[in-house]
Amino acid sequence: MEDGSHVEHTIATPTLKEINRLCTNTLVTHLGIEITEYSKNHITGTMPVNENTRQPMGFLHGGATLSLAETIASIGSAMQTDLTKYHVFGVQVTGNHVNTVRSGIVTATGKLLHKGRTSHVWDCDIRDQNHKLISVVRVSIAVVEKK
Residues known to be catalytic: 70
What is the torsional sign of CA 66, 87, 25, 43? positive
The CA distance from 123 to 90, in Å, is 13
The CA distance from 83 to 86, in Å, is 5
β-bridge partners, 106: 47
- In three-state secondary structure terms, 30 is helix
